Amino acid sequence: MTRLSVNINKIALIRNSRGSNKPDLIKVAQDCEAFGAQGITVHPRPDQRHIRYADIPELKAVVTTEFNIEGYPTVEFMDLVLKNKPDQCTLVPDPPDALTSDTGWDTVRHLNFLKNVVSRLHDAGIRVSLFIDPIEERLHAAKATGTDRIEFYTGPYAHDYNSDRTRAVAPFRAAAKICNETGLGINAGHDLNLANTRFFKDNMPELLEVSIGHALVCDALYFGLKNTIQMYLRELS
């Protein structure tokens, strides 16, 4: 079964909008796990508009499944990750003012930089995943960085799913074959939802983990958090 990691950034965004502790981010993370989530993902950004740096040690103390921290490896981000030692660190190439992660690493161009970052994380015992597009040369370069996994940026798949889902998933199927041949584990995330997740997973039997936040929180407004998590787990089973 592909594991479901719930990204709780949007929960933090709602909390921050009123300057209080409602909803309680820590309690929501614990509840997500109790409702069946197999991981918790956070993406602290430089402006701390949702997840705050101060949230990380509190979450680290209570998350009992897999704790995944995403972000661009600035000095501050690396200090945060190395101090709190999550199970996985997903490196994304976002500029500081990015609204959301909407492109993968150019691992060819940034090979030496990523090698150094991956090495530092491995020295701390942290599994590493690189956010990436399904481009052959970048996958081979990703392997050369020493990363354990890649996380496919699935925005283009989600965008094209309704018009031609077979065509939409084709580049990812081809890329998955390269990952299998080179020994890269496969994660995926971005714009996966209740409508398109099962088809992606069915065409990607090697898929280890998906990280879903925005769509899941939107669905929870209608179905409730517990029920929504169960619905996503059924799509992945």
Residue range 162-211, pLDDT digits in tens: 999 999 999 999 999 999 999 999 999 999 999 999 999 999 999 999 99
pLDDT digits (tens, 9 = 90+) for 104-125: 999 999 999 999 999 999 999 9
Mean pLDDT of 39-50: 94
205-232 pLDDT per residue, tens: 999 999 999 999 999 999 999 999 999 9
Where in the sequence is the domain holding 68, given as residue range(s)?
A: 3-236
Compute CA 173 distance to the chain's CA centroid, rounded to the nearest angstrom: 19
Mean pLDDT, the chain, rounded, equals 96
Average pLDDT on 89-97 reads 85
* Greater pLDDT, 118 or 103: 118
pLDDT of 98 > 70? The answer is no
Mean pLDDT across 28-34: 98
* Average pLDDT of the segment spanning 4-31: 96
Peptide bond into 23 cis (omega under 30): yes
DSSP 8-state secondary structure symbol assigned to residue 185: E
pLDDT at residue 78, as a whole number:
98
How many domains, in total, are found in the chain? 1
The C-alpha atoms of residue 210 and residue 234 are separated, in whole angstroms, by 13
Look at residue 153 in the predicted model and tell me its pLDDT.
97
pLDDT at residue 103 in the model: 84
Exposure string over 47-79, b if 16+ CB within 10 A, otherwise e: eeebbbeebbeebbeebebbbbbbbbbeeebbe
Token pair in block for residue 60? 């680290």
- Active site residues per annotation: 43, 70, 190
Place of tokens 């979450």: 59
Q: What is the mean pLDDT of residues 10-36?
A: 96
The total number of residues shown for the chain amounts to 237
Provide the pLDDT for residue 101.
Answer: 61
Going by pLDDT thresholds of 50, 70 and 90, the confidence category of residue 82 is very high
Q: Which residue has the higher pLDDT, 96 or 99?
A: 96
Percent of the chain's residues with pLDDT above 90: 93
Tokens of residue 30, six digits: 């614990």
pLDDT level of residue 1 (50, 70, 90 thresholds): confident
Question: Is residue 43 pLDDT above 60, yes or no?
Answer: yes
Which of 29, 151, 135, 49 is CA-nearest to residue 100? 49
Q: Could you tell me the CATH number of the domain that includes residue 191?
A: 3.20.20.70
